Amino acid sequence: MKYSFLPLAGQKGNLEYKSYKKIVADKLAAYGFVEDQENPEYFIAFAYGIDNGKEEISSVPIFGQTGVSSSTTYGSINTYGSYGSYSGTTTYQPTYGVVGSAPVSSTVYTRKLELSIIDIQNSKPDEPSVVYQADVVSSGSSSQIAAVMPYMLEALFKKFPDESGKTRRETIPMK
């Protein structure tokens, strides 16, 4: 299957777009797609973006001593006639657990990637024939889409092309 990339507004000449385009081309090659600028059968178009982040408040447990489970006392008694004295030491075996919680604020960013494959032969000027469309949504603490995009593309191509219209969840460990 021969294809050509169709850059969207603002993507042509963009270095970030070029780096993602290379990853997409490598992923497509694994499925028999060949880039051909002269006689493509399909256009590949993709868009991506990241929001400004949303602050989320959660609570984390505070661990500490919750009590004593047992105690042990050692000592000695000294007697002097009808008088005596005691000298000893008591050690306590503490127990630990959750003693409270503290609020924690974090910013969560949502990243999105959309990829479409368009059949050139069956497309009309104002009506592209989209034969495949995928949306990848990622959320997390990274505000840099460049750090996350390779993993988003890996998730997209993990079971490519998969069932149309089906939503699936992929977990890709960061390296």
Residue 89 lies in a domain: yes
Instruction: Report the alpha-carbon distance of residue 158 to residue 175 in Å, rounded.
Output: 16
pLDDT of the residue at 107: 96
pLDDT at 59: 94
Q: 113 with 49, same domain?
A: yes
Instruction: Give how many domains the chain has, as a whole number.
Output: 2
Scored b (16 or more CB within 10 A) or e, 1-40 reads eebebbeeeebeeeeebeebbeebeebbeeeebeeeeeeb
Show the beta-strand stretches assigned E in 81-140. 83-124, 127-140
* pLDDT tens by residue, 100-139: 999 999 999 999 999 999 999 999 988 999 999 999 999 9
* In a domain? residue 15: yes
pLDDT at 167: 80
User: Is the whole-model pTM more than 0.85?
Assistant: no
Of 70, 66, 67, 65, residue with least CA distance to 91? 70
CB 130 within 8 A of CB 118: yes
Could you read off the pLDDT of 6-44 as tens digits, one per residue?
Answer: 999 999 999 999 999 999 999 999 999 999 999 999 999
Burial letters 67-103, b for 16+ CB under 10 A, else e: eeeeeeeeeeeeeeeeeeeeeeeeeeeeeeeeeeeee
- Rounded Cα distance between 112 and 102, Å, is 32
Average pLDDT taken over every residue of the chain: 92
> Could you tell me if 80 and 42 lie in one domain?
no
Contact (CB, 8 A) for 46 and 113: yes
Clarify whether residues 10 and 53 are in a common domain: yes
Per residue in 46-87, pLDDT tens?
Answer: 999 999 999 999 999 999 999 999 999 999 999 988 898 999
User: What pLDDT sits at residue 164?
Assistant: 67
77 is in which domain, residue-wise? 59-103
**End residue of a domain, out of 69, 84, 103:** 103
Distance CA 38, CA 4 (A): 8
